C-alpha cells in the first residue's frame, strides 16, 4: 500500500503538491502519515477531504496514520474530525 508522508506545514503553498500527490496515487489504497503535521490550513484540509471522498467512491482504502496532536486539534476546530476518525465524535466524552 502506498504511503504519503504529510509535511510539517500544510499551508496554501502545500495544497498544489498535496493534490498532485493524491492524483499520482489514485486507484490504490493509501496510508497518509500525519505524525509530522504542525500546521494544517483550510485549503489542505479540503484537499484531504476531497481525496478521502475520491478513495471512498473508488472503493479503495484511505487511512490517516498516527495523526499529530496539531492535526487532530485542527480537524476538530474545523469540525472535520468525524470525517477522518468517525469514532472521535462518538467516543469523545466531555
Of the candidates 85, 33, 29, 18, the one whose C-alpha atom is nearest the C-alpha of residue 59 is 29
**CA 88 vs CA 5, 8, 40, 79: distances in Å:** 22, 23, 18, 11
Segments making up each domain of the chain, as ranges: 3-87
pTM attached to this predicted model: 0.88
* pLDDT tier, 87 (very low <50, low <70, confident <90, very high otherwise): low
At 12-70, the pLDDT tens digits run 999 999 999 999 999 999 999 999 999 999 999 999 999 999 999 999 999 999 999 99
- The CATH number assigned to the domain with range 3-87 reads 3.30.750.24
CA 2 to chain centre: 14
Amino acid at each position: 500500500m502506498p504511503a504519503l508522508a504529510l509535511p510539517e506545514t500544510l499551508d496554501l503553498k502545500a495544497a498544489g503538491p498535496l493534490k498532485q500527490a493524491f492524483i499520482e496515487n489514485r486507484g490504490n489504497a493509501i496510508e497518509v502519515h500525519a505524525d509530522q503535521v504542525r500546521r494544517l490550513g483550510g485549503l489542505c484540509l479540503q484537499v484531504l477531504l476531497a481525496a478521502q471522498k475520491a478513495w471512498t467512491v473508488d472503493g479503495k482504502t484511505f487511512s490517516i496514520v498516527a495523526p499529530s496532536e496539531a492535526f487532530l486539534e485542527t480537524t476538530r476546530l474545523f469540525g472535520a474530525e468525524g470525517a477522518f476518525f468517525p469514532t472521535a465524535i462518538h467516543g469523545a466524552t466531555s
